[in-house]
Amino acid sequence: MNEIIKSLNDRKSVRVFEDKEISAIDKEAIINAAIQAPSAGNQTMYTIIDVTDQELLTNLSKSCDNQPFIAKAKLALIFCADYQKWIDTFSIVENNPRKPGVGELLLGCNDALIAAQNAVVAAESLGIGSCYIGDIMEKYEYHKEVLNLPRYVFPVTMIVFGYPTEQQAKRKKPKRFDKQYVVHENTYKRMDDKTLEKMFVDRANLTPEVPFEFNTWVHAFYNRKYDSDFSKEMTRSIKAYIKDFDDE
């Protein structure tokens, strides 16, 4: 197995960081790797906000569903879908450019996330751990204000970085679903109840020390994640953004 594939296989989230700074050279390498990612039509429909203000980061750790470890990150980058720079460019030359639509928004989200994953992979290669923070999509109105976001810019994800503590480095990586459930040949195959249950049981069997009972597990997960306040806030926040984005 080559080193890149091994690194991709081994990578897991890191949420507790050593008190060790990331050097300017390594930070530069991480950001450059992000910028080297492909983007649709080479448009770079994203902007990276490098959060260097500790007070802002502490506030973000609260607004992003109260996750205190965010405030202890040694590097925090917010990847924003950005069509503002394109519509501003078009406006210089075109008389009445059409308004960006949800197509541009989703394409910008693709660009932002692909660049983000490049940053994660680059950091990993330097021994620097990372964790995605999806909650940056919550509290749209607040994030718009504190990050000074114009209409066609939306924070898709934040990534926090730092060197893993020994405990984090040793933490077992959560198992993934087996490939048979993830890859469908040619057309989508909707899974029946039995297959769905087996998908979870198979994954749980990879870590047999953790007791698993399908109904109990799904019920707890439903309550903890899907039906949680933060999930509902995410939907509210994104809806509010799209309304502003789309307003005439």
Ligand X SMILES: Cc1cc2nc3c(=O)[nH]c(=O)nc-3n(C[C@H](O)[C@H](O)[C@H](O)COP(=O)(O)O)c2cc1C
Binding site for ligand X (CB under 6 A): 12-13, 15, 67, 131-135, 157, 173-174
Looking at the DSSP bridge assignments, the partners of residue 80 are 47, 155
Tokens linked to 110: 């693709």
| Nearest to 116, CA basis, from 68, 151, 161, 62 | 161
Residue 173 Cβ, how far from ligand X at the closest point, in Å? Answer: 5
Q: For residues 131 and 124, what is the distance between their CA atoms, to the nearest angstrom?
A: 11
- Residue 112 contacts residue 157 (beta carbons within 8 Å): yes
Which of residues 51 and 133 has its CB atom nearest to ligand X in the complex? 133
Residue number, nearest CB to ligand X: 134
Which of residues 29 and 131 has its CB atom nearest to ligand X in the complex? 131
Which of residues 67 and 125 has its CB atom nearest to ligand X in the complex? 67
Q: How many CA atoms lie within 13 A of 32 on its CB side?
A: 6
Residue 169 Cβ, how far from ligand X at the closest point, in Å? Answer: 12
- Residue 145 contacts residue 26 (beta carbons within 8 Å): no
Which of residues 10 and 193 has its CB atom nearest to ligand X in the complex? 10
Residue 191 Cβ, how far from ligand X at the closest point, in Å? Answer: 21
Residue 12 Cβ, how far from ligand X at the closest point, in Å? Answer: 3
Which of residues 150 and 174 has its CB atom nearest to ligand X in the complex? 174
Residue 130 Cβ, how far from ligand X at the closest point, in Å? Answer: 9
Q: For residues 74 and 162, what is the distance between their CA atoms, to the nearest angstrom?
A: 5
**What string of DSSP letters covers 136-188?**
GGSSHHHHHHHHT--TTEEEEEEEEEEPBPHHHHHSPPPPPPPHHHH--SSS-
